[in-house]
Amino acid sequence: MSKRPSLFAPMPERRAEPSEIVTGQLIETTGASVATKRPPSRAGKRVLSVYLDPLAWKQLRQLALDVDTSTQALGEEAVNLLFAKHGLNRSA
């Protein structure tokens, strides 16, 4: 029985075959993962995750529909209002 390789061992680099490159996306042939580039609107930005109760999430989605905007825009507005409340520059 052969010994399994260490999970901490460096992975050998693998070059993409031309048939694996599709419109800026590198698709692994193993099917395990898909590496994609971020859209330009998200370049240079960081993710903030917030856990909400199901009722709060539903209200947020309904508000986004009612005012014809996205939850992303509502989140940015909320962060800007929080900054304003604490006397900080609005930068979101």
What local confidence, expressed as pLDDT, does residue 5 receive? 78
What local confidence, expressed as pLDDT, does residue 72 receive? 93
SS3 of residue 20 by DSSP: helix
What local confidence, expressed as pLDDT, does residue 23 receive? 54
Residue 83 reports pLDDT greater than 60? yes
How confident is the model over 18-44, as pLDDT tens digits?
Answer: 555 555 555 555 554 555 677 888 888
- C-alpha 89/C-alpha 40 separation (Å) is 24
What local confidence, expressed as pLDDT, does residue 6 receive? 80
How confident is the model over 57-68, as pLDDT tens digits?
Answer: 999 999 999 999
CA distances from 56 to 62, 71, 75 (A): 10, 12, 13
